[in-house]
Amino acid sequence: QCGAVCPTGAIVVKDETDRAWAAINDPTKTVVVQVAPAVRVALGEEFGLPPGEIVTGKIVAALKRLGFDKVFDTSIAADLTVIEETNEFIKRLGSGERLPQFTSCCPGWVKFAEHNGADFLKNLSSCRSPQQMFGSLVKKYWAKDLGKKPEEIFVVSIMPCTAKKYEAALPHFTTEGVADVDLVLTTQELARMIREAGLVFDRLDVESFDTPFGFTTGAGVIFGATGGVAEAVLRAAHEFVTGQPIEQINFEAVRGFADRKEATVELDGQEIKVAVVHGLGNAKKLLAEIREGKADYHLIEVMACPGGCIGGAGQPIASDRETKRQRAKGIYNADKLSQIRKAQDNPMVAKFYERWLKEPNSSAAHEALHTTYTNRGRIAGEEIQLINGEQPKVE
C-alpha cells in the first residue's frame, strides 16, 4: 500500500481507498459519501486546476461515477453544528458558566485539549464535529427511513484531514454498536480513486448533491477556513437572542491568516469578545494567556491546521501561503454565491428538527449530536504526534 503523505513529512497515513472500492462493490451495502467544505476548493489542484477554484459540482459528478449511491454535503451538518453550538453559547452567556466556550469541530484541537488542556475541557462546546453529526443522523434516523439497519449503510467521508480518521474510529461515535462513519478518505485519496477510475476530472459535467443532506448555506461552507465557525455562530447568535434579522453578516475581523484574530460584537447590549486561532502553537499560547489571566474572551475558535481545514494534511500538498489564500478566497466566494448564508435559514435543517431532533439542545439532539471529552493527560516524556506536523513542547 502506498501512503498519503503529510506535507511536513511528519506523518505517513495509510491509503484506504481499497476499503472504499470494496464497499462500493458490496451489494449488501448502501454506500453514501459526505464531502467536507474545504475539499471543494482544493481537489481541482490534483487535476491541474488553480487553487481556490470551486469544483463542488465536478466532485459530485465524480463520486456518482465512482459508484457511490448517494452524495451528500458535510456543510449541512456544519449548519446543524452552528445551531446547536450557538444555542449552547447563549445558554452559557446567560449563566456565566463554562466561558469562554471553545469550538469543538476540529479533532486535532480536541485531542490536543484532551492531552494538554484538562482544565479547559469543560469549556469545549459539547457539539460533535459536522462529520460525526452527519454520520450519526444517517445511522440513527435516515437508515430507518430507508428501512435499513445501521450496518447496511456504509458512510464514507471525504475530508481535508487525517485527524478525522482518528475521530471516526472513536468508540463512542457509534449507533447500535456500528460506527457512524465507516471510512474517512482524504482529498488526496479521492484524487487517487478518480485517477484509478480513469475519469477526466476537469471535463466532468457538474452535478448536484442528493437530498436530504444536500442543501447547504454559506455558513456551513465557511467552516473550511479559519474564522469560519466563529463567523457562522455570530451570524446566528444575534438573531437567536434578539429575534431580529442581522443586517451585517460578514465578520471580516475573524477572517484571514493572522495568528490570532479578535472581534468584539454587541449582543443585545452585552459586549461579546471573540478570538480565533489556527495552528496548535497559537492555541497553546492562548491557553497559557488565559491561565495567567492575561486574555479574556467569551467565544474561541481553534483549528489545529494553519489556515484551518483548507490547510489540512489530507489536502493536495501545498505549504505556501498563496495557495491557502486562494483556497480561502474560494471558500468565501462559495459563501457569497450561496442563496442562503445563515445556518438558521437552512430549510432542510429545519426539517431535521421537525422530524427527528425536536428542537436545538433537546435530549434527542444531545444523543445524536453531542459528545463528552476525556482527560487523556500527558504521559511524561511521551511525544504527541500532532496532525499538522507541529510538535510544540508541552511542559
Nearer to ligand SF4, 78 or 234 (CB): 78
Size of the site for ligand SF4 (CB under 6 A): 14
Please state the closest distance from residue 325 (CB atom) to ligand SF4, in A: 16
CA distance 77 to 232: 13
What is the 8-class DSSP label of residue 355?
I
Q: Which three cell numbers stand for residue 127?
A: 457539539
Q: What do you get for the CA distance between the two ends of the chain, in Å?
A: 37
Q: Which of 37, 44, 108, 279 is in the footprint of ligand SF4 by CB under 6 A? A: 108
The single-letter code of the amino acid at 11 is: I
Please state the closest distance from residue 98 (CB atom) to ligand SF4, in A: 22
Binding segment for ligand SF4 among 104-112, 182-190, 209-217, 279-287 (CB under 6 A)? 104-112
CA distance 265 to 279: 24
Q: Which three cell numbers stand for residue 324?
A: 491557502
Residue 143 found at the interface with ligand SF4 (CB under 6 A): no
Please state the closest distance from residue 83 (CB atom) to ligand SF4, in A: 19
Q: Which of 117, 150, 218, 308 is in the footprint of ligand SF4 by CB under 6 A? A: 308
Please state the closest distance from residue 208 (CB atom) to ligand SF4, in A: 25
The torsion angles phi and psi of 101, rounded to 5 degrees, stand at: -90, 125
Binding segment for ligand SF4 among 17-25, 140-148, 260-268, 308-316 (CB under 6 A)? 308-316
Binding segment for ligand SF4 among 16-24, 78-86, 203-211, 301-309 (CB under 6 A)? 301-309
Please state the closest distance from residue 164 (CB atom) to ligand SF4, in A: 6
Nearer to ligand SF4, 191 or 303 (CB): 303
Nearer to ligand SF4, 84 or 345 (CB): 84
Instruction: Write 203-209 long-range contacts (CB < 8 A, 24+).
Output: 204/58, 204/61, 204/62, 204/65, 205/57, 205/61, 206/56, 206/57, 206/58, 206/60, 206/61, 207/57, 207/60, 207/61, 207/64, 207/71, 208/57, 208/60, 209/60, 209/71, 209/72, 209/73
Residue 387 found at the interface with ligand SF4 (CB under 6 A): yes
CA distance 87 to 352: 16
- Give the DSSP letter string of 124-145: B--BPPHHHHHHHHIIIIIHHH
Nearer to ligand SF4, 6 or 263 (CB): 6
According to CB under 6 A, which residues from 145 to 174 bind ligand SF4? 160-161, 163-164
Residue 303 found at the interface with ligand SF4 (CB under 6 A): yes
Nearer to ligand SF4, 343 or 386 (CB): 386
Q: Which of 11, 13, 106, 300 is in the footprint of ligand SF4 by CB under 6 A? A: 106
Candidates 203, 182, 273, 161; CA nearest to 55 is: 203
Q: Are strands 270-278 and 260-267 parallel, antiparallel or unpaired?
A: antiparallel
Residue 110 found at the interface with ligand SF4 (CB under 6 A): no
Nearer to ligand SF4, 63 or 309 (CB): 309
Binding segment for ligand SF4 among 100-108, 238-246, 263-271, 291-299 (CB under 6 A)? 100-108
Angle between helices 17-24 and 187-196 (to 10 degrees): 60
Residue 304 found at the interface with ligand SF4 (CB under 6 A): yes
Contacting residues toward ligand SF4, per CB under 6 A: 106-108, 160-161, 163-164, 303-305, 308-309, 312, 387
